[in-house]
Structure 1
Amino acid sequence: MSTAPALSQLEGELVRRRLPLIYDYLSPQPSHLLNLSLNSLLTQTQSSSPAFNEAQWRLPSITNPNFMPRCHHLIYFPPQVPSPELLPDGCDELHSPGQPFNRRMWAGGSVQFFGEGGPLLNGQRAVCVEGIREVNIKGKEGEEKIFVGIERRIATMDEHESDDGVRDRVWTQSEEDQGDSIVIERRNLVFMKDRTSDEIEASKATESSPRRIMKGDYGSTSIYYFQTANVWLVVSTNPELIQTIIPSKALLFRYSALTFNAHSIHLDRDYACNVEGYDDLLVHGPLTLTIMLTVFQSHAASLGQTVSSIEYRNLAPLLVEREMRVCAARKSNGSSGSWDIWVEGNDGGLAAKGTIRTTPVTPN
């Protein structure tokens, strides 16, 4: 396992790090399995169970393929790292600054989708070109946190295209340049030092304490103020869309399997509680994003719209088998195709917040 260079050298070392290309075949199977795991959960009510529909749950045809649903790119292009090279927490070290920054969290990011439908799930070969765009070190001496901004660019490709040809065609010096990408994703990870036993107990006490929530009325719109990490955030309490789900252990396991993610914080309760200091297993950051966009895209489709981009922040952990509510409301500034989206945790506090932009779907 590598040791982190001096903090003064760390930013340059990470940004210059050359990450391997990640290849995949866009088979319908992973997307189909994600739909099996999510759709019944998102439609099930407490009083009824969804009826099994054999035709609905049949694997889609590869000769008459569907487009990749929004955010399903997250279950393709997993890091292809041999098991012996994984870190003690089950993660890879591709983006890690090294010791002593052994803990990691998914802090947020953004995704841009190009085209109305996304790539076809017809078995074609595709590639993810990944690089570290930005590194920020925050916190006083001895309590530093390292924020790593990762960009992932997804494109289809010819079977025999060279690695250098792929990089030249897909990766661009400017983050604003699409190149040949069909999806551009920004992931913001934060790396932290291991917690002491006292810090773990303090974290558990904080987790169990209710967060402050205040209400106010502004014209015809009610507002909630959520205090998260000492920052007051505002969301409308009159959402156009509300969806409540309870993420199960089975869902966390299946999502870990689909994303080839062995991070113990999602799989090992003893690790999550006794090493990381949480009350239970954590819902994956990308799973939260997947749930948000799955819920919202269904609503957008009913309006003749499709998601073109999302920017979001994860503000508080979501725990397994606790209720979470996905809410969305049109932005109050009246801008067309712009929405606030947020996730409330079991205590009513804000766990994630973002902005979605949509574009009209062209009629067939």
Structure 2
Amino acid sequence: MIISDYKALRWLTKDLTSLYHVKNFQNLVSDQLLFLHNKPPIGHLNINEHFLFFNRTNKNLSKDGYFKDISPEQLMPKYKDQAFKRRMWAKGSIIQYEPLKFNHEYTCLEHVKNVKSYRGDTFVSINRDIVDINRQVKLLTEIRTLIYTNSIPRPNNIIKHVNNTEADTVIGQFTFNEMDIIRYSQLTLNPHRIHWDKIHAVQHELYDDIIVQGPFSTQILTLFAESYIGQPIHSLNYRNLNYIYPGTTVDICLRINDTDETYQFYMRDSQKPEKVYLFLQVGSP
């Protein structure tokens, strides 16, 4: 069924925040993020840890295993005869107004913010508000944008977002292992087959292997950013620039913008520094 007005679509997901679920994620990565071992316990989620919660479980999925109801052909009549071959996370932004406390039930309210076409690709942006229903308070707002495309996967080595990388500081490294990628999909109830089904990823979407989830790489980069800054981050913007294969080791790089007092962090390939995977900008604490 094609929706005549996609902005009327609404999804509601309730979840109970759990310290143990966050620890399951930390156990997944703590062998590489040694600064997590000395991190003092807190009673709430840090920014981006909400990615581990509030994930929809509806069974109406496309052939690629992801949610059919946010595909362009479902949202707008002009796309009804067009089936896109691939979809990926393109970018997003998060503002945290209040921390989400552990062992509390919160509600995530989602709707399609907009659908835009650009150079043959289509971008679908989803607005997500996490609220405390009892207090009628909004705690966090997230905008996530997915790109739908028929292009063949190819690496992008021309990075306009990051220049003069030789002057930037490498603050750490991280390797994305195959089983960690698969286990992250399990932790986040992510059904998208490009993250766990190698046959589908290679034969149907023409990747060389499964690829890292956008939320996974963003969580890793944010953890490094918070560790460097030494204070919680309350707002951020990120942009995915390349897909990441299992076994890839990335450098975590820092650039401080003295003009507007923002921090800029990015992931680049440790073997091919011209290849940048993810760009993150956060405001000063």
User: Is the pair's TM-score, using the shorter chain for normalization, greater than 0.5?
Assistant: yes
2:18 is aligned with 1:94: no
TM-score normalized with structure 1 length: 0.69
DSSP-derived class of the 1:21 partner: strand
Q: Report deviation, 1:312.
A: 1.5
Of 108, 128, 136, 2:108 maps to 128
Matched residues in 1 for 2:264 and 2:138: separation? 26
Q: Report deviation, 1:264.
A: 1.1
Contact 1:108 1:314 in 2 (8 A): yes
Unaligned runs of 5+ in 2: 74-81
2:126 is aligned with 1:150: yes
Q: How does 1:69-218 map to 2 (within 5 A)?
A: 69-82=46-59, 85-98=60-73, 99-115=82-98, 118-121=99-102, 123-139=103-119, 144-158=120-134, 169=136, 180-193=137-150, 199=152, 203=153, 206-207=154-155, 211=157
Q: How does 1:309-348 map to 2 (within 5 A)?
A: 309-333=235-259, 335-336=260-261, 338-345=262-269, 346-348=271-273
> Per-residue CA shift, 1:2-37, capped at 9, x if unaligned?
5xx5xxxx8x63333x22201001121211111111
The aligned amino acid for 2:105 is R
DSSP-derived class of the 2:167 partner: coil
Matched residues in 2 for 1:130 and 1:232: separation? 29
2:157 is aligned with 1:256: no
Correspondence for 1:278: 207
TM-score normalized with structure 2 length: 0.86
Q: Report deviation, 1:239.
A: 3.4
Matched residues in 1 for 2:284 and 2:232: separation? 5
Correspondence for 1:176: none
Correspondence for 2:76: none
DSSP-derived class of the 2:247 partner: coil
Correspondence for 1:38: 29
Of 269, 278, 289, 2:218 maps to 289
Correspondence for 1:175: none
Correspondence for 2:79: none
> Per-residue CA shift, 1:255-296, capped at 9, x if unaligned?
101110121111112222222122221111111110111111
DSSP-derived class of the 1:326 partner: strand
What RMSD in Å do the two structures reach over aligned CA positions?
2.6
Unaligned runs of 5+ in 1: 45-49, 162-168, 170-179, 212-226, 360-364
Q: Report deviation, 1:74.
A: 0.4
DSSP-derived class of the 2:46 partner: coil
DSSP-derived class of the 1:251 partner: helix
Q: Report deviation, 1:69.
A: 2.1
2:277 is aligned with 1:358: no
Q: Report deviation, 1:125.
A: 1.0
Q: Report deviation, 1:182.
A: 1.3
Q: Report deviation, 1:76.
A: 0.3
Matched residues in 2 for 1:120 and 1:350: separation? 34
> Per-residue CA shift, 1:219-243, capped at 9, x if unaligned?
xxxxxxxx14xx5742543334521
Count the aligned residue pairs.
Answer: 274
Matched residues in 1 for 2:129 and 2:169: separation? 32
The aligned amino acid for 1:324 is V
> Per-residue CA shift, 1:197-230, capped at 9, x if unaligned?
xx5xxx4xx44xx93xxxxxxxxxxxxxxx14xx
Larger Rg: 1
The aligned amino acid for 2:88 is M
Of 185, 196, 206, 1:267 maps to 196
Matched residues in 1 for 2:161 and 2:139: separation? 35
Q: Report deviation, 1:150.
A: 0.8
Contact 1:308 1:358 in 2 (8 A): no
1:353–1:235 CA distance, 2 compared to 1 (3 A)? farther
Correspondence for 2:13: 22
Q: Report deviation, 1:344.
A: 0.4
Contact 1:313 1:352 in 2 (8 A): yes
